[in-house]
Amino acid sequence: MPHRSSSNRAIRPFVSRPAPFERFDVDRNYAYGIGLHAVVDAANLDTEVIERTITRFRAVGENSWVAESSTD
């Protein structure tokens, strides 16, 4: 049974989130072109980060990809 706070709400135990990994997920189900979902290790998303991400995407063969180590 979960612990209860003074307001009688259940207190969730601390659960750590998985470490983020840089990754590309390619979606080829579009009628025209492909979709690309990317997770990148960057504090801010700017032109330099986008260009670096596109370069890496091309370097891995324009396929889905997951980095070998986490961004933490």
39 contacts 21 by C-beta, under 8 angstroms: yes
Q: How sure is the predictor about 26, in pLDDT bands with cuts at 50, 70 and 90? A: very high
User: From the CA atom positions of the chain, what is the Rg in Å?
Assistant: 19
Structure tokens at 15: 């659960």
Residue 24: its pLDDT value, please?
94
Residue 53: its pLDDT value, please?
94
Residue 46: its pLDDT value, please?
96
**What is the tens place of the pLDDT at every residue in 4-18?**
545 566 666 666 666
Q: Is the pLDDT of residue 48 over 70?
A: yes
DSSP summary character for residue 10:
B
Residue 21: its pLDDT value, please?
85
Amino acid at residue number 68:
E
SS3 67: coil
